[in-house]
Amino acid sequence: MTFSFPECLQNGEKVVFFMPEEKEVAKVILSEIPDENLKKILFVAHGDLEILFSKTKAQVSYYTDKGCRYGETLFDKLEYQVKTFAPTACVYPGPYKPQFLYLALVSGAVCRVGFDCAKEYPFLNLSLHPLKTISPARMMARYFTKGKKG
């Protein structure tokens, strides 16, 4: 049976992408997403990735380890940015961080995608299983460029 990836990612609608903190994983994701798609994505990324994003035209909301807890000023700013971006989808490749799962839920996005994330329902509502031949980061990035996967 052929699996069709959610239309909210195929059709180039607005997406919030919670970027993994590992620089190599983030680099793979950014290298795979075409520049024209970057304008429809709001990345939520750790401040350590700022240099990586500086070479792109991506929209990025940065956080730090110290200022990103529920109720803190930086977290409130992230929540405001995510909500006002009004995404149709959120992509959360992990690892588990409850504050970002909360942001995915309150974003208003109907499609909230993660990997092997059934235990994170209702924060994430579509659980994918990564292929053994390709990393989750590369798999997610390719969906933005190719749309359907079989």
What domains, with CATH codes, occur in the chain?
A: 7-146 (3.40.50.2000)
Per-residue confidence (pLDDT) for residue 149, from 0 to 100: 41
Mean pLDDT by 10 residues, the chain (150 residues): 53 86 89 83 94 91 86 92 95 87 94 86 82 67 54
Q: How many CB atoms lie within 10 A of CB 126?
A: 18
User: What is the Cα–Cα distance from 94 to 113, expressed in whole angstroms?
Assistant: 10
Which residues, 6+ apart, have CB-to-CB distance to 138 below 8 Å? Answer: 28, 29, 32
89: which strand partners? 15, 111
In 3D space, the residue among 111, 97, 142, 117 whose CA is nearest the CA of residue 14 turns out to be: 111
Per-residue confidence (pLDDT) for residue 137, from 0 to 100: 65
Are 61 and 75 within 8 A, CB to CB? no
Are 17 and 76 within 8 A, CB to CB? no
Supply the pTM of this predicted model: 0.82
Amino acid at 3: F
Are 18 and 79 within 8 A, CB to CB? no
